Structure 1
Amino acid sequence: MGNAMRGAIAFIPSERCQRFLVGDLKEMPLDRTLDLSGRQLRCLPAAACVFQELVKLYLSDNHLSSLPLELQGLRKLQLLALDFNCFEEFPPAICRLPQLNILYLGNNRLHHLPGELKELKELNTLWLETNCFTDFPQVVCELTNLKTLHLGYNLIRSLPGELRRLEELRSVWLAGNQLTDFPPVLMEMPFLAVIDVDRNKIRQFPSLSHMEGLKLVIYDHNPCINAPAVGEGVRRVGRWADSPDDEKEEDGTKAVSEAPPEELEDQQNT
């Protein structure tokens, strides 16, 4: 009953209805955090944009498809959560938040990022999983302080060579895309600690043993004929992950290549 009521009221843009959905926003929260997640919102209340000292703003799990330009007044905002909404276009006001370092935009309908995103000089964590990207958003390569990038469950087929510029990047999550080859640029980024290419279409993995910073590589659910060779102490998640490298290359590859077509297909789907 409560959710149905909120859903109905969300269509009525009166000030009284907005107060029902978000409460009476009169004073700055003491912890400088405002959580309006799951309120069935279709627009951001103007009152939320007047708290210029706000540090964290959670707007997850609503029905938002745009944000007002007044949002750029939150000059001290460091975290903005917009996942599980209805954004098809990236809200321009976000690019004018100079202290933003964590941005959640997963589970939307985005297919493009504006060039102005590079203005977010402090951004170190970017979540874009489960959107509609068919190409890697090139502007990401200009986010020089980025440490964590989540781009899983899109339709990306390759990564640009410019990604190597991100020398602060430590984890890249690319599960559920359309990669048919292990991205060569990742092998030029020895500082990476986590690589996730689970659920792609990669058939063969190169050696990653030269990547001194690597701690974890997830390559499960690929139609691969081998596992990536890694350095000592690196955890692998995927087929043959617990086998010694020599046994994996000698036995694993042969076992897959000589399997009947129907058996091979079953193995690839597991």
Structure 2
Amino acid sequence: MQELQVLLDGGYKAAGLTKFKLTCPLASFPAEILELGDELEQLDLSGTGLSSLPSNLGSALPNLKIAFFSDCNFAIFPKQLAQCPNLEMVAFRNNGMVEIPEDSLPLQLRWLILTGNRIASLPASIGRCTRLQKCMLAGNQLQHLPTEMAQCRKLGLLRLSVNRFESLPPWLFTLPELAFVSFAGNTCTAPAANGAVTKAAFRLAHVNWSDLELQETLGQGASGVISQGLWKQSPDYAEEVAVKLFHGALTSDGTPADEMAAFIAAGAHESLISVMGRIHGHPEEEEETTPGADKNNNKFQGGIVMQLIPPYYTVLGQPPSLASCTRDCFPTPQNGTTTPKLNASQALSMLVGLAGAAEHLHARGIAHGDLYAHNILASRDDEHALLGDFGAATIYAHGPEHECGIEKLEVLAFAHLVEDFLSNLIKTEGESEGGEGDVDVAMRRGLQQLQARCAAADVEARPTFEQVLEELEGMMGWRGMMRIPDIPNPTASASASVGVGVAAASS
């Protein structure tokens, strides 16, 4: 982070900076930033209170690729950004923005963040942003998307939660690369309409806040805090659990309240991080139901008790980077570490479980919305994986407009996951690309063919999760012929009883 006075004194003029950041209050855009010239690629003025940009921004900073103006005061999206020839990522989170004029979006845009504003419509010219891959629109006042947006064929991730959609446009279900979608908190997904939350919540244990003892913090995310704790079920018995307390800030995916509702509605599955009970009697519980409570505040929004995941379960991947945009990252030798490789048995067993979890969710009318390796905890020794983080999940029920559409978008996310697994498979001794009789080669080829079908550009041609699961279970028949030995783990408990731990902190 740089200092304003040094900037004003010309201290950065010849420094060759590629990144520049200020957080101090600004009455206007400092002209000295424009003197950073061709070298500057990333500009972050979030939290400075700016409301306008200079007219020559694009010509002065021709190589600007990333611009962050979150928590500022831009009521109107600045047209000056359209003049930046290389601008790929723009963020205006929490600006109170109400309007995006036509032709104001940079044509090279790949990543657009407009979370938490008051935008009622998008310009038709967004259809000219054909490189757009990630679009974050949660927490606005949108009722429709422009039909021209159907030209954004590279779009891979779309967040529409907490808007005013009564339905989603049919063309959305034809986009060939769209894999991660969230739209909870809209009229078309009101939980009262399908009853999923009510039924699932009725079956949950009633956990009194006074019966919980919180211990160390396991993780903290935008939607709340997860702690390890004890659930005192009797004077003589307490169970180790994880406790998540949801808070009211709007996240890039939606609201904590919608996340908790989807988590509860998901029910039990051996490859889902499971919920044991819902917390009652929290000291701030009355504030949760206060009429007119602001969804963007940090008030208590409820809490759940989850099973504690053993520490030998580890996260499979890392979240997307600015460069990878919609795809997970994995450690490489260049940064000093590598992702541990999976053998064929481990990979197949985990994929069967994850496909089963996705099939289970869609059978209940729930889209996970974030089916990524970084949201999966895995035990290689147990050959078991757990899907967590319901921050982008949507209870969509089974209305006619969603018939298989949402599910088949998420099947593409599973295709990406299979591709990630394949890239982290061990090649066993003697395996060769042309070894027709080698079981590992046959399994690899089978997964590659399944991945290709799940990634078909024709969305309707993709299999359902029920069909994916059936094919993967068929591959499990090869395991008896595999020459890969099971790896014993004397400390591991039964994987089916495993619940939740650190990974859910990213929720």
Asked if Structure 1 and Structure 2 have the same fold, meaning a TM-score greater than 0.5 normalized by the shorter chain, the answer is yes
Pairs within 5 Å for 1:157-176:
157-176=143-162
Match of 2:179 in 1: 193
Q: Which runs of 5+ in 2 are unaligned?
A: 195-361, 363-368, 372-389, 415-464, 467-507
Is residue 83 from structure 1 mapped to residue 257 from structure 2 by the alignment? Answer: no
Helix, strand or coil: the match of 1:19? helix
Helix, strand or coil: the match of 1:139? helix
Residues 75 and 98 in structure 2, CA contact (< 8 A), matched pair in contact too: yes
In the alignment, the residues of structure 2 paired with residue 215 and residue 89 of structure 1 have an alpha-carbon distance, to the nearest angstrom, of 30
More helix by share: 2
More strand by share: 2
Query: What's the CA shift for 1:100?
Result: 0.5
Residues 134 and 157 in structure 2, CA contact (< 8 A), matched pair in contact too: yes
Given the alignment, which residue of 91, 99, 104 partners 1:112? 99
Is residue 155 from structure 1 mapped to residue 155 from structure 2 by the alignment? Answer: no
Residues 199 and 219 in structure 1, CA contact (< 8 A), matched pair in contact too: no
Match of 2:32 in 1: 47
Larger radius of gyration: 2
Residues 1:234 and 1:78: Cα distance change in structure 2 (over 3 Å): closer
* Aligned AA (2:159): W
* Aligned AA (1:112): E
Residues 1:215 and 1:130: Cα distance change in structure 2 (over 3 Å): closer
Given the alignment, which residue of 45, 56, 63 partners 1:59? 45
Match of 1:220 in 2: 394
Residues 1:51 and 1:177: Cα distance change in structure 2 (over 3 Å): same
Match of 1:102 in 2: 89
Q: Which runs of 5+ in 1 are unaligned?
A: 1-17, 209-213, 236-243, 246-270
Higher relative contact order, chain-length normalized (CA < 8 Å, sep 6+): 2
Give the alignment's Cα RMSD to 1 decimal.
3.2
In the alignment, the residues of structure 1 paired with residue 370 and residue 55 of structure 2 have an alpha-carbon distance, to the nearest angstrom, of 41
Query: What's the CA shift for 1:95?
Result: 1.5
In the alignment, the residues of structure 1 paired with residue 370 and residue 31 of structure 2 have an alpha-carbon distance, to the nearest angstrom, of 45
Is residue 121 from structure 1 mapped to residue 107 from structure 2 by the alignment? Answer: yes
Between stretches 40-49 and 109-118, larger displacement belongs to 109-118
Is residue 145 from structure 1 mapped to residue 124 from structure 2 by the alignment? Answer: no
Match of 2:454 in 1: none
Helix, strand or coil: the match of 2:149? helix
Number of corresponding residues: 211
Query: What's the CA shift for 1:117?
Result: 2.5
Alignment TM-score, normalising by the size of structure 2: 0.38
In the alignment, the residues of structure 2 paired with residue 129 and residue 26 of structure 1 have an alpha-carbon distance, to the nearest angstrom, of 34
Helix, strand or coil: the match of 1:149? strand
Alignment TM-score, normalising by the size of structure 1: 0.68
Residues 1:106 and 1:228: Cα distance change in structure 2 (over 3 Å): farther
Identity of aligned residues (%): 23
Query: What's the CA shift for 1:29?
Result: 4.3
